[in-house]
Amino acid sequence: MLIREIEPGDRPAVHALLRACGVFTEEEVSTALEVLEVGIAGGLDGDYPAFVIEDEGRVRGYVCVGKTPLTAGTWHLYWICVHPESQRAGVARALQAHVEQFICSRGGERIVLETSSQPGYERTRRFYRCAGYAEVGRIKNFYKTSDDCVIFCKEL
């Protein structure tokens, strides 16, 4: 597996990934694509650095992060998405470890992320807990009724 900075040519693969995941709404996909465009345009020094992971030449996942405005050393992990066929192969873990190292190399001190409280995201939440993220907040009904926002943070 190879992790590298995202390139313009990765657009079709990332679009396909987002749809293949099956968990994102249309609005979420289009938001992710907007952020992706900024990520591609700005590169690693831009507002939304993004990386893809390749396995045997095929893009199997991507991740997008960004320095949190008005903070000294806080970054947000905005999006991590792995192809359903690769979800048990350590792809997400590899992406996660890569962005932690990247953020650390840029002087980042912690990573904050938000995810859903719904049962469909239980595996996601477990993934972050196992990776050392602690729940630091919860906003009831944030996304919609009975769908809270769970805020996680990890000190690097």
- Residues interacting with a second copy, by CB under 8 A? 25, 27-28, 31, 68-74, 109-110, 112, 136-145, 151, 153, 155
DSSP string, 22-58: ----HHHHHHHHHHHHHHHHHGGGSSS-EEEEEETTE
The nearer residue to a second copy, 105 or 145, going by C-beta atoms, is 145
The nearer residue to a second copy, 5 or 147, going by C-beta atoms, is 147
Q: Closest separation between CB of residue 60 and a second copy, Å?
A: 24
The nearer residue to a second copy, 101 or 141, going by C-beta atoms, is 141
Q: Which residues pair with 63 in a beta bridge?
A: 51, 80
Closest CA to 113 of 66, 147, 44, 70: 66
Q: Closest separation between CB of residue 7 and a second copy, Å?
A: 26
Q: Closest separation between CB of residue 48 and a second copy, Å?
A: 14
> Tokens in use for 59?
């893009």
